[in-house]
Amino acid sequence: MAITNGYATLIEYKAWRTIASTDATDDGVIEQCIEAASRYIDNETGRTFYARTATHYHDVPGSRILKLDDDLLTITTLTNGNDVEIAATEYNLWPKNHPPYSEIKLKASSSILWEMDSGGNIEAVIDVAGTWGYVATAPHHRGISDIMGV
C-alpha cells in the first residue's frame, strides 16, 4: 500500500518512532494509520491541506462576490451560468496577495455579471475548475518530530 495524501511519510514516521523494522506487513499497518490520521486532520479542520484538481459548482451570488466552498489555489477556467468562460482579467481572487483564495470578486470595472443558466436556474451553475487545497506542495521540514514538537 502507498500513502495517498498523507501528512507524513512512512520514513518520517519510522524515524520519529525509531522503528527499524522493514517488514512489509508492519509498513502497511503504519501507512494505514498515517492515512487515517491525515483524514482525521482534514475532518477536524474542515479543509484539506493537499492540492487536488477538480471542478466546483456554485450558485449565482446576490453580489459581485462569489464565496467559495473550499480553499482555492489556482483557477483553470471560470465558467458563468450562461456557459460563457470569464477571462481572468474580469475578476480578482481574494485575499488578493496569496492563496488559498476564498472568494472570486468580479471587478467593478467589468461589465460581466454572474448569470443564471438558460433555463433560469441559479443553483450550481457557476463552474470553477482549478486546483483546490491549502497548499500546492507539502512544506519542507526536518521530520515529523519537528511537527509533533518532540
Dmax (CA) of the chain: 63
Domain around 118: 52-132
Entry pTM? 0.81
Structure confidence at residue 130 (pLDDT):
98
Cα distances (angstroms) measured from residue 22 to each of 18, 30, 31, 128: 12, 11, 13, 44
Number of domains the chain contains? 2
Residue 121: inside a domain:
yes
Rounded Cα distance between 70 and 1, Å, is 28
- H or E element that contains 66: strand 65-79
Structure confidence at residue 139 (pLDDT):
53
Q: What is the mean pLDDT of residues 101-119?
A: 98
Residue 138: inside a domain:
no
Residue 147: inside a domain:
no
User: What's the whole-number average pLDDT of the chain?
Assistant: 91
Structure confidence at residue 42 (pLDDT):
93
Residue 39: inside a domain:
yes
C-alpha cell at 143: 521530520
Structure confidence at residue 2 (pLDDT):
87
Whether residue 65 sits in one domain with residue 116: yes
Higher pLDDT, 139 or 54: 54
Residue 141: inside a domain:
no
Structure confidence at residue 23 (pLDDT):
83
